[in-house]
Every structure is written in C-alpha cells, then in structure tokens.
Chains A and B, each alone.
Chain A
Amino acid sequence: MTKLAQWLFGITLFLSIWLALLKDLTPIKVTDENFLWISLIPVGLIALFGIISLIIIAYRVSTFNNCDEAAKELLKEIDEAKKDLATKGFKFK
C-alpha cells in the first residue's frame, strides 16, 4: 500500500466514524449542546496538528547547530593543504 493509499484509508476511516457520530448512529447521542462540538472535530484536529507542527519546526530551527568550529577548522586545514600540496609540486592556478 502506498503512503497515499494509507492516508486515504485513514482519512476515510476517520470521516466515517465522524459522520456516524454526527448522524446519531452511535451510542453517543447528539444533543443541541454537543452538536457544534462534534461537527468541529475535524477542524479542531487539523488546527491542533498545525500548531504542533509549527512548534516542532520552530524548535528544530532554533536548535539547528551552527558548526562554527567546523568551518574554522576547515579553513585551517585548507591552508595546510595548500602549503603541503605546493611542496609536493602541485601548482595552483
């Protein structure tokens, strides 16, 4: 099953349960009070997923290592390399 099929399967399953709930086909009875809440479940889940995603991404951006040491070390090694290669007879352009 492709990832697309897995998602479609999951979404269809969810929507069927939700519609059954909404159409009063489950033991949980729909009342005037909870109707609004039940009908908002999908929107709520999407919003929740969005918020969690944003928090995760923001956290990962802020903790993305900067590797300044690695860059410095590389520059030093490039210097060494140029000197050593020159002594081995390599001509830089």
Chain B
Amino acid sequence: MRNKRMSETKYSIILPTYNESENLPLIIWLIIKHMESENFEVIIVDDNSPDGTTQVALELQKIYGKEKIVVTGREKKLGLGSAYIHGMKFAKGDFVIIMDADLSHHPKFIEQFIQKQKEKNYDIVTGTRYAGDGGVHGWNIKRKAISRTANYVTQVLLRPGVSDLTGSFRLYKKRVLEKLVESCISKGYVFQMEMMVRANQFGFSVGEVPISFVDRQFGESKLGGNEIFQFLKGLLYLFSTT
C-alpha cells in the first residue's frame, strides 16, 4: 500500500451529539472521506439521545472499526464543556478537534486546520465565518445583522485577537483544551467566547482558518430574545472579569 500518511501525529475528533441520528452517519462518512491522509479517531459523546443516536454510532463503529470510531456518552444531557472533558478521557491524540455533528461544520476544513497548526505550532486553530473566504449559508439579512453586530460589540469590548468567538469548530492541543475547559464556566455561545478570551489571557497562540458555515436548521429558533439576553449577560461577565 502506498504510504499516504504524512506524519504519525494523531488527531482526535470529539463529536458531542444529542438527537443526531440522521446527521451522524453523514458526518462520519464525510470525516472518513476528507481525513484519508491523516491518523485520526472520532469520539462520539452521545448524551443518551432519545432518538437512538448511540445505536447509530455503534452501527457505524461496526462498519469503520473500533480504531476509528469510539462511542461513549453520559446518562443524561450535560454541558458542552463536560462533553469535551469526557471525550478527552478517551482521546489518544495530541490534538483534539471539536465540531458540531449537525453538518454545519464541514470536515473538509480539518485538513486546513492541521496545516495551519503546523505553520506556527499554534496552540489553537479556530474556524472563522467572519474573515477571508469564510461565510454562512441559510441566514437572512436580519440574522446576519444580529450576528455582525454582536461580533462587533464583542470585538470592541473584549479585543480578543480572533475574528470568530462564538464558533465551535476548532483544533486544540490536548493539554490546552484541558486547561481551558477547566477555567471556563459559561454555557452555550458564551462558553465558546470564554474559551477564546481565556486563551488570549493565558497567552495561547491562535490561528484562524476561514470556513463556510452551512446552517441547515431553518427558522430562528437558535436566536430568540433569550439567546440575545444570555449573550449580553455573558459579554458583561467577560468584560468585567477578564
């Protein structure tokens, strides 16, 4: 067999899931397709989804093997941060990639994250929708305006040094992710923001890769008044404590 593997660095992709039985086979297939030349594993952390995501994960494990697909989970739905910690217990790689399983994050970008990381030995590489060729699909003008405004206000108040704070498609050195999850207490969008702000505080280096974010969840359920209130609360918390 031709040796396509560039290096033996191992990458662990942590995929927290909840009710993703439809998307999970697709995201796994895409990861396998686009990560061909890398040494990697996918760790599925399913929080006992009622739609049977865990069963789907186990079926995929039969197809692709236990080396590639690790299936784990918790009794009930817990926070994202704790899903990362749980997943990391199984991670054999030095680098951890976290992404959403709902197909809004395309695995083709992981290879670019890896190349970016190698460029300057970055501690973190984050996908960005707000720079270069990055962008979104499926957002109307109102959604874009809210997103851009929130991002602008955040940039002015926190000066975090990265263009996309609320995204959750990132590559971390494992020990860096461990340290960050330990020191971040926020939830939801704000959790991702806090991770970047603390990274900046600790002096971790962050590289950015433009990504296209394809939103397949229609409607505005993800951005109601409560979401905006939680965001502002989190912003003020970070503004006054970091």
Contact surface of A with B, Cβ cutoff 8 Å? 2-4, 7, 53, 56-57, 60-61, 64-68, 70-71, 74, 77-78, 81-82, 84-85, 88-93
Chain A positions within 8 Å of B29 at CB level: 81, 84-85
B42 to chain A, nearest CB (A): 15
Chain B positions within 8 Å of A78 at CB level: 26, 103
Given A78-B26, A84-B29, check contact A64 B214 (CB 8 Å): no
Contact indicator A53/B152 (Cβ below 8 Å): yes
Given A61-B144, A84-B29, check contact A56 B135 (CB 8 Å): no
Interface residue ranges of B165-213 to A (CB < 8 Å): 212-213
Query: In the complex, what distance in Å separates the CA atom of A4 from the CA atom of B157?
Result: 8
Interface size on B, residues (CB 8 A): 39
Query: In the complex, what distance in Å separates the CA atom of A57 from the CA atom of B148?
Result: 6
Given A78-B26, A88-B63, check contact A3 B157 (CB 8 Å): yes
Contact indicator A64/B152 (Cβ below 8 Å): no
Contact indicator B135/A66 (Cβ below 8 Å): yes
Query: In the complex, what distance in Å separates the CA atom of A75 from the CA atom of B59?
Result: 23
Instruction: Please report the number of residue pairs spanning A and B whose Cβ atoms sit closer than 8 angstroms.
Output: 84
Contact indicator B214/A74 (Cβ below 8 Å): yes
Query: In the complex, what distance in Å separates the CA atom of A74 from the CA atom of B115?
Result: 22
Which DSSP category, helix, strand, loop or mixed, fits chain B's interface? Answer: helix
Contact indicator A67/B135 (Cβ below 8 Å): yes
Identify the closest chain A residue to B147 (Cβ). A64
Identify the closest chain A residue to B238 (Cβ). A3
Q: Which of B30, B59, B60, B212 contacts A70 (CB 8 A)?
A: B212
Chain B positions within 8 Å of A82 at CB level: 26
Chain B positions within 8 Å of A65 at CB level: 133-136, 212
Q: Which of B22, B30, B148, B240 contacts A60 (CB 8 A)?
A: B148
Contact indicator A74/B133 (Cβ below 8 Å): no
Contact indicator A57/B239 (Cβ below 8 Å): no
Given A67-B214, A84-B29, A92-B25, check contact A3 B158 (CB 8 Å): yes
Contact indicator B152/A67 (Cβ below 8 Å): no
Query: In the complex, what distance in Å separates the CA atom of A4 from the CA atom of B235?
Result: 11
A39 to chain B, nearest CB (A): 26
Interface residue ranges of B23-66 to A (CB < 8 Å): 25-26, 29-30, 33, 59-60, 63
Contact indicator B136/A67 (Cβ below 8 Å): yes
A5 to chain B, nearest CB (A): 9
Chain B positions within 8 Å of A84 at CB level: 29
Contact indicator A74/B242 (Cβ below 8 Å): no
B212 to chain A, nearest CB (A): 4
